[in-house]
Structure 1
């Protein structure tokens, strides 16, 4: 029943008086869906927050509670949510900075616009995790001071902060100009030298797998360097020196930076690890010479990465599409292709080229229709969900290619109810097509009823308003809880049934 009430809480047709009744019996799960309602009034938000304390946080984030509604002494989490959204009161910060619960001080440290005296208190907090959270989000001035903090964990957070000054990030990367860190999370808890077992079975242990310290805080220092390399504000000159570093993780982080000079790219292009080469292949920083080198890489992940590079030449991309799985998503270079390039790709004798351009959803009608009549099934699968295709063209696809294109035809936004009915009765059945039909805006009741036979499509179809009310009511008791919840959220659920579902106290 709880999942049914959760579905009911999300039902857009639930009238206000039934929302009131549901609030009275709500638990934490039901409150989650109630708090997301677009029609929830301020009075109902207050009632829900009083009924389920945890809901005050999501209600605050949604703007349904204001500073006048919240007492930080009794609702600290809601107060923190308002502060995070810049909708709280400054005086709350001076109260919350002394909260005995560490996690709340951590949340406060991540809030924007904190007054200087509160920042100063957080920077000297006795719990290093609070200081580290501050370091991750704070201003350039505070980040500069925290870069020299004696605890390595705080420095790691500064390295990830994009507000930190470039010179500070460079110093964290190289260590130059900063005093050595004195502590890290490892030596805070363990006698050094210590290496954390990746298979650690201690339930109270939260050290990262492989964390280690021999007195030099090496694992945290390494993570600080990785964060600095990933930080786009860190100067290029500071990061390129790591192109030949023995650490795979540091080279891997470097490979994705869009500001890499050609020389650094060339060295990474011959890296022994395919993951480094794959991330480099997707990087717009590589030049045409390296693009052609990486196009012949033996690893398919590298070639797939290159296919997603927005600068890859069309001819190289076409070759890649013939030898590598590039995925069903529209590739960046195809998305930016000029009208002349689109026309050439659509007329190419290479079906891989035609398949690529068929993934666009803004093709001129003549090109769209020509690709719909393509003899290659892969091209037709790519074009089948393009808007604007006539029912005649969609049925012709089915006649030529059968089960290979049924699901894609079902996904076409202009598929008619009659066509969807036929697809739902297709023999042999196509399971993926049932899921497409179940979510289609034009699906009729008979088509949706057919979709109920498929486990995954049933969960979608149960929420569709076109289902007969009697069927929706039957689905409320389905053994699959997701189906029952979707049925309860169905806007066509009769009002009397909605009312009967809500217990009366």
Structure 2
């Protein structure tokens, strides 16, 4: 790949005539970048498609091609992309339903709005993968018949399809009212009874780890139930009975569902598997009793799940705050805190609670400013990127807390050029500061030059129009391909330099 041409293809300042010249010499990588240009015209898209036919699917999904531009026999992949977008010719579906390649028929089966006769043809396809794909995506009345298909893979797809009627989903969960499954992926390939070795090293083996069949297709039936239990359209009354099922996967699939009886959630909250308890802990449908029980759980993942519950009482959150790690996430309960709750959170004796609140970006100015003066560095770090703090307050944060808040201050949209230059001069340097400033809209040429010292910030800084032009031109020859490509994509690159780069092709 020519990394300079690859970068030029993404240069937003490239004149149309230069885009034309790039199209004329494009390889697959350059074509991919050109196809993504927002200013690519229809004539240019056709020229690019003719030059590199492999980019046709991307052009179709981007709306650059029409049905008149595509021969569905020569380029069925592009025709399928247009059908998937609802932009294909109506007769293409019937043509492609008879395509000898099952991958093409499977892609067709996933397209929306297929004519009824095409759906009927695909439902009878000899390749079960095609039928399973139809069962996964169709919103037609054919789904009820597909749910009765003798192959387990088709039923599993129907069980995962949210357009499947609730009564059919209930039947797929329980098996009541449906004929038995006759075939599964295991018994089609192996003599039964058979249990697939979880550490199977056979070349080309496609069976799932642990798949088994003794004639009852047990692992396949389990997968059908798992898909239906995870489907939000499956009626709650059909799934509640699986809360004490021996399969951890089936119990866990219930843990995040709404609309179940409180007794089911209480049972899941006492599940022996921490993953099940963690999922139910984050479910807003659990009652207060289950919430308070889970708050005392010894597993950190369970407490973390509870901390993300949007209906968590604030007193329980305060109990959890110092014992959970949630990263830089704004917790849903904090985001939903009412105006009268915000001052209470801001004055909490727990620095962790104040830190959680500081991640909100819609705080009243007096709350925001108070958190900016907090004595705890982690609170200040959380509020530091909040718009509206003002440069003087941002500098004061740096003076008080130093390296602990530098990255967050550098991310503040109100940080001006002088402050950003001050941050890049910090001793010792903080690498993440360079990466933040390299993308900051207020970064000065001096700050961007300093960012070139960091290997991860360098490609970002090189692409900035504020970087001195002479430096950008020099970096076209950088040994790091990502830097050279970023330099070529820089909109400040002089026209004469671009001309020279294209003349060498």
User: Which category describes the TM-score, using the shorter chain as reference length?
Assistant: over 0.9
Is 1:277–2:277 an aligned residue pair? yes
Change (3 A) 1:435 1:193: same
Q: Which residue of 1 aligns with 2:480?
A: 480
Is 1:318–2:318 an aligned residue pair? yes
1:116-131 pair list within 5 angstroms: 116-131=116-131
Is 1:351–2:368 an aligned residue pair? no
Q: For the Cα contact (< 8 Å) 1:407–1:436, is it kept in 2?
A: yes
Change (3 A) 1:503 1:270: farther
For residue 166 of structure 1, report the CA deviation from its aligned partner.
0.6
Q: Which residue of 1 aligns with 2:168?
A: 168
Q: Which moved more, 1:204-213 or 1:457-466?
A: 204-213
Q: Which residue of 2 aligns with 1:438?
A: 438
2: CA distance, partners of 1:279 / 1:230 = 13
For residue 269 of structure 1, report the CA deviation from its aligned partner.
0.2
Q: Which residue of 2 aligns with 1:38?
A: 38
Q: What SS does the corresponding residue of 2:188 show, helix, strand or coil?
A: helix
Q: Which residue of 1 aligns with 2:7?
A: 7
2: CA distance, partners of 1:40 / 1:92 = 26
Q: Which residue of 2 aligns with 1:226?
A: 226
Q: What SS does the corresponding residue of 1:455 show, helix, strand or coil?
A: coil
1:27-106 pair list within 5 angstroms: 27-106=27-106
Q: Which residue of 1 aligns with 2:491?
A: 491
Q: For the Cα contact (< 8 Å) 1:257–1:283, is it kept in 2?
A: yes
TM-score by length of 2: 0.98
Task: Give unpaired runs (5+ residues) of structure 2.
Answer: none
For residue 117 of structure 1, report the CA deviation from its aligned partner.
1.1
2: CA distance, partners of 1:260 / 1:3 = 56
Q: What SS does the corresponding residue of 2:71 show, helix, strand or coil?
A: coil
Q: What SS does the corresponding residue of 2:19 show, helix, strand or coil?
A: helix
Q: What SS does the corresponding residue of 2:81 show, helix, strand or coil?
A: helix
For residue 13 of structure 1, report the CA deviation from its aligned partner.
0.9
Q: Which residue of 2 aligns with 1:142?
A: 142
2: CA distance, partners of 1:211 / 1:4 = 49
Q: For the Cα contact (< 8 Å) 2:309–2:332, is it kept in 1?
A: yes
Q: Which moved more, 1:443-452 or 1:37-46?
A: 443-452
Give CA-to-partner distance per residue, 1:208-239, whole Å, 9 cap, x none: 22222222222221111110000001010111
2: CA distance, partners of 1:477 / 1:409 = 33
2: CA distance, partners of 1:446 / 1:135 = 59
Change (3 A) 1:208 1:477: farther
Give CA-to-partner distance per residue, 1:405-459, whole Å, 9 cap, x none: 1111111110010000010110010111111111111011111111111111112
2: CA distance, partners of 1:139 / 1:398 = 57
Q: For the Cα contact (< 8 Å) 2:7–2:485, is it kept in 1?
A: yes
TM-score by length of 1: 0.98
Give CA-to-partner distance per residue, 1:306-365, whole Å, 9 cap, x none: 111100011211221211112211111111111111111112232222111111101111
For residue 200 of structure 1, report the CA deviation from its aligned partner.
3.0
Is 1:210–2:247 an aligned residue pair? no
1: CA distance, partners of 2:238 / 2:45 = 51
Q: What SS does the corresponding residue of 1:413 show, helix, strand or coil?
A: coil
2: CA distance, partners of 1:13 / 1:203 = 50
Q: CA RMSD in A?
A: 1.3
Q: Which residue of 2 aligns with 1:111?
A: 111
1: CA distance, partners of 2:218 / 2:490 = 56
